[in-house]
Amino acid sequence: MTLKPLFAAVLALGALASGQASANYTCTLGFVSPSGTNPVHVGQQFGFSVLVSFLDFGPYPPITVKPFEVHFHGTRNGVWDTGSGQHLANVAGNYEETIMSYNPGGIAGNYIRYATIYRNGQFVCSTNSVYAGLL
């Protein structure tokens, strides 16, 4: 065996052991309506399910650790209404979590939402967009 392949293998194993291997993230967003309706009537609950899937080396943290910041973005009746994003919750990785709210009335409209996910202040990924109607 020559020194070049041996050196490359040692470097690769060293990177894995030191935790420098990068993770691959996939983020998804879903709309949740316990009443089964969309649009949601005044007084009914609704929410968004968030899943941040990733592959990383080493043990996964317990689900009580929530390192991923969820920032919601989107429109109401076609007009941007979230500014630079609303940080409503943190979520754990590899475990779907639901962020619930209710329709208080007075905010009727057609909403499109997506989320950007951050870990330690660094952008990780964006989700798909979902529709939520409020009456």
> The domain that contains 66 carries what CATH number?
2.60.40.10
Q: What angle do CA 128, 78, 103 make, to 5 degrees?
A: 75
Q: For residue 4, tell me if it sits in a domain.
A: no
Per the DSSP assignment, residues forming a β-bridge with 117 are: 70, 125
Lowest model confidence (mean pLDDT) among 13-17, 27-31, 48-52, 121-125: 13-17
Q: How many domains does the chain have?
A: 1
Q: For residue 11, tell me if it sits in a domain.
A: no
pTM summary value? 0.79
Sorted by sequence, the CB contacts under 8 Å of residue 67 that are 6+ apart come out as 61, 90, 92, 93, 119, 120
pLDDT band at 63 (very low <50, low <70, confident <90, very high): confident
* Calpha distance 72→74 (Å, rounded): 7
Q: What integer is the mean pLDDT of 22-28?
A: 85
Q: For residue 1, tell me if it sits in a domain.
A: no
Which two tokens mark 24?
């691959």
Q: For residue 48, tell me if it sits in a domain.
A: yes
Q: For residue 53, tell me if it sits in a domain.
A: yes
Q: For residue 80, tell me if it sits in a domain.
A: yes
Q: For residue 57, tell me if it sits in a domain.
A: yes
Domain that holds residue 110: 24-134
pLDDT band at 56 (very low <50, low <70, confident <90, very high): confident
> Above 90 in pLDDT, residue 7?
no
Q: For residue 104, tell me if it sits in a domain.
A: yes
What is the structure's pLDDT at 29? Answer: 98
